[in-house]
Structure 1
Amino acid sequence: MQVNIPISEKEKEVFDAIVSEGGQLFFVGGIVRDTLLKRESKDIDVEVFHLSYDKLCEILSRFGHVETFGASFAVVHLDLLQNCEFALPRQEKSRGSGHQDFDIIIDSELPLEKAARRRDFTINAMMVDYKTKQLFDFFHGYDDLMDKRLEVIDEKSFQEDPLRLYRGASFISRFHLEASERTKTICKNMKEKVKYLSEERIYEEYVKILMGDFPSLGMTFLKDVGVLPSYLEALIHTHQRPDYHPEGNVWNHTMLVLDHAAEVKGETSWPLAFMWSALLHDIGKPLVTTEDGRAIGHHEAGVEVFKDVKIIKNKKLRAYVKMMILVHMELMKIFYDHSRPIVYKRLLKKIDGIFPLNDLVWFSRCDKAGTGRCAIQDMELINERLEEYVSSYGDHAQEALVSGKDLLALPIEDHRQYGDILRQAYEWQLQGMKKESILRRLLHEFR
């Protein structure tokens, strides 16, 4: 079978130079998989046989600056081709429990099958000869790809790198795959090794899971092999009122919300933050759910649980997710109750500078769709009331009439009160008071 990997003229020039010097160049990994799936692939990984590390660096240096990682890493980058990674055939031997605890042995004459065997899954072990376009598929990766099956190649080498377990989940999410029972068993036997991984590396794989087209599949795989963090594991054991949530427990609801969110994330201001919010929005329910399935105050409890979600480091991302956990029900409550305008205006102020109203609207739709039943009436209500409130009161928080500069002109000696004073001033503004009236009342209340 021949596979035509699309490349640019610059890439062809560099690849031809390698071949002319006696190297044999193969496309490997994701570029082969994505080409077979007719998906666009940004990165090109190539493996070069029959050349030494020094010779490969010398050839590439003719075209620009070569970034090397030391001969022991067997990987080279060229600044001319930012999307390409050049590697030499190698074998890896574990010398510890961590993701990077490996000794690397370069062997430019390594048989193709041995070179491919070090890879994680069959769908990533296919190789395409640059010159002949011939596909080399020693482990039936093409069949697995077409059958949407995730299959480990070598059990022993796979278990040496616990990060591969999370990579498997991300592939399942991105390509709508199903892990074989063998793959699940192998991953279950690795779960004790996960503790040696850094939160940063696990976070990277979670991002790929959440940004895939089918995030619930990747998350369900993590559940099945037993590596969910406690705050997600608890969702599985938390029931809900069947009249409100016929889909069952909180985990089922969250997975439905997650997949609906994946479909619309492109409509939001920050797709990744939106997806993290979908995953974590109900993490407070296990703390407050009663025997009859009521979960009053779960949004506030969720904010407390979120403090223990250490995997998210970015402060702005944390602020977004925390706020979405806190307010994810407020918009629907306003619409259902036909609340007074001030309640809506307070919500706009609360989310101001963190995410736009549009994000909360989309989240409310996903949360409703995640009840496992037809929610056409709910969606119609959202659209009808949204138009009503936005046309009357806007979709942004009102600009504050009173500023810190205004307070400096008042005889208020304790400047530590300014924050509280400005918040009170804004509340009076929402109640309809004019600036002059607010300043007079501030002078009376805080002198």
Structure 2
Amino acid sequence: LKKRDFTFNAMAIPISSLFENKFLIFDPFLGYKDLKEKIIRIIAEENIIEDPLRILRGYRFFAYGFGEIESNTRKLFQIHKSKINRCAKERILQELLYILTSSKTFETFKLMDEDSILKEFFPYIEKTKGIPQPSFHHLDVGDHLFESLKWAEEILKNPKTYLGIEMREKIKEKDFIISVKLASLFHDLGKAYTYEIKDRITFYGHEKVSAELFKEMAEKLRFKRDLIDRIYILIKNHMRPFHLLNEKEKGRLTLRAKRNLLRDVPYLEDLFIVCIADSLASQGPDKEPDYEKRLIAFFNELFELKEQLEKESKKKRLITGNDLIELGFKPGPIFREILQDIELQVLEKKLKSKEEALKYIEEKYSKRKF
């Protein structure tokens, strides 16, 4: 039993007692007492050295409500933290996934950050600490990322309260939960590398840099490819709804711009939570008090457009590739361009018949037939 990890995992029942109608517990490390008092305590330092993954497992037990990690245990975790990466990446990833799908990811990652453990897996988050932001924000970049994770977790617990919509099926999906939490935590990683001050603070192109940094860390930890791609897309595009909302309020937003966002980000529910969490984590003096309300209204427009596009996709197309060939066009990239253009014209009710569509194509694209 002394080779086990934590005291509450080092209890046993003598087999002989099972045949004597007795229920005896062999508890040499007072694990039952720790279990009752909600204390997570390592049995011995050598047990960490023997299997450093026990460090991460300790935080996992914290995430699942087994209690607080005892102070000396935390010190031992810090002393031996560099040994964790000797463990197989698959084992490390599994423990991280357990934490990410718990209801205390924010608290756990925050504790791991305080103990200098989190940077062993996600090193780039360390560089965001202390980076100032414009007055739309009230926190530096590092604190903003943790605050965004906190709000994402809150929204996942009760989407109806924060978003005005139910997500009963979505919030049961592990990949959905993980993608929302990690995209929220890492959406601004690139600000540490794009920070500039001239007339004002800027972070030009930080979205792409953030996505690339996340991808690098996730690949080293061997996250599955489709999940990496999903989170990459969310991080890379997290600013677009804010930009489009700005265009809308200036009267310049086009249907094409909204359609392009839906085409580029097939995870609209994920993006919705990431953006609202990002906004709620930004409470600087220059932020408008009703900003989330306006952002939610804009996302509702996007959901309506998505539904409309899905309905249109099931209808018979006004124009097909065969029609374009009959008009004299050669198959190629222009086919997609024309068909998407016609789709938009139909959505905007500018074209209602095949004849109108053919005329429109001839007038707009005839010079590009050859």
Task: Report TM bin, short chain.
Answer: 0.7 to 0.9
Contact 1:148–1:178, Cα closer than 8 Å, also in 2: yes
Q: How far apart are 1:239 and its partner, in Å?
A: 3.0
Contact 2:148–2:277, Cα closer than 8 Å, also in 1: yes
Aligned partner of 1:245 in structure 2 is 137
Contact 1:348–1:395, Cα closer than 8 Å, also in 2: no
Contact 1:162–1:193, Cα closer than 8 Å, also in 2: yes
> Is 1:260 matched up with 2:151?
yes
RMSD: 3.2
Q: How far apart are 1:288 and its partner, in Å?
A: 0.9
Match of 2:95 among 180, 186, 205: 205
Contact 2:190–2:206, Cα closer than 8 Å, also in 1: yes
Aligned partner of 1:444 in structure 2 is 367
Matches within 5 A, 1:29-108: none
Contact 1:122–1:152, Cα closer than 8 Å, also in 2: yes
Match of 2:9 among 111, 124, 132: 124
Match of 1:171 among 56, 61, 86: 61
Contact 1:144–1:150, Cα closer than 8 Å, also in 2: yes
Distance 2:56 2:14 in 1: 29
Q: How many residues align?
A: 323
Distance 1:245 1:178 in 2: 32
> Is 1:430 matched up with 2:321?
no
TM-score by length of 2: 0.74
Q: How far apart are 1:422 and its partner, in Å?
A: 0.6
Distance 1:280 1:424 in 2: 37
Distance 2:301 2:194 in 1: 34
Aligned partner of 1:308 in structure 2 is 216
Q: Quick one: structure 1 residues 126 and 438, their matched pair in 2 at CA, closer, same or farther if it must change by over 3 Å?
A: farther
Q: How far apart are 1:155 and its partner, in Å?
A: 1.0
> Is 1:348 matched up with 2:262?
yes
Q: Quick one: structure 1 residues 430 and 133, their matched pair in 2 at CA, closer, same or farther if it must change by over 3 Å?
A: farther
Deviations 1:29-73 (A, max 9, x none): xxxxxxxxxxxxxxxxxxxxxxxxxxxxxxxxxxxxxxxxxxxxx
Q: Quick one: structure 1 residues 376 and 328, their matched pair in 2 at CA, closer, same or farther if it must change by over 3 Å?
A: same
Aligned partner of 1:284 in structure 2 is 190
Contact 1:348–1:396, Cα closer than 8 Å, also in 2: no
Distance 2:90 2:23 in 1: 37
**5+ long unaligned stretches in structure 2:** 158-166, 352-356
Q: Quick one: structure 1 residues 302 and 444, their matched pair in 2 at CA, closer, same or farther if it must change by over 3 Å?
A: same
Deviations 1:174-216 (A, max 9, x none): 2274333322221222233223223222211111111111112
Contact 2:193–2:206, Cα closer than 8 Å, also in 1: yes
Select the structure that is richer in helix. 2
Contact 1:175–1:213, Cα closer than 8 Å, also in 2: no
Match of 2:207 among 299, 305, 327: 299
Q: How far apart are 1:147 and its partner, in Å?
A: 4.6
Q: Quick one: structure 1 residues 188 and 213, their matched pair in 2 at CA, closer, same or farther if it must change by over 3 Å?
A: same
Q: How far apart are 1:260 and its partner, in Å?
A: 2.3
> Is 1:326 matched up with 2:236?
yes
Q: Quick one: structure 1 residues 439 and 137, their matched pair in 2 at CA, closer, same or farther if it must change by over 3 Å?
A: farther
Whose Rg is larger? 1
Aligned partner of 1:104 in structure 2 is none
Aligned partner of 2:292 in structure 1 is 379
Aligned partner of 1:273 in structure 2 is 179
Aligned partner of 1:361 in structure 2 is 272
Q: Quick one: structure 1 residues 143 and 252, their matched pair in 2 at CA, closer, same or farther if it must change by over 3 Å?
A: farther
Please give the secondary structure, in 2, of the residue aligned with 1:221. helix
Please give the secondary structure, in 1, of the residue aligned with 2:203. coil
Please give the secondary structure, in 1, of the residue aligned with 2:179. helix
Please give the secondary structure, in 2, of the residue aligned with 1:383. helix
Q: Quick one: structure 1 residues 304 and 390, their matched pair in 2 at CA, closer, same or farther if it must change by over 3 Å?
A: closer
Could you list the structure 1 runs, at least 4 aligned residues long, displaced by more than 6 angstroms after superposition. 373-376
Distance 1:306 1:436 in 2: 46
Please give the secondary structure, in 1, of the residue aligned with 2:196. coil
Distance 1:184 1:331 in 2: 41
Q: Quick one: structure 1 residues 257 and 141, their matched pair in 2 at CA, closer, same or farther if it must change by over 3 Å?
A: farther
Deviations 1:344-378 (A, max 9, x none): 22212222xx32x3332222221122236799623
TM-score by length of 1: 0.62
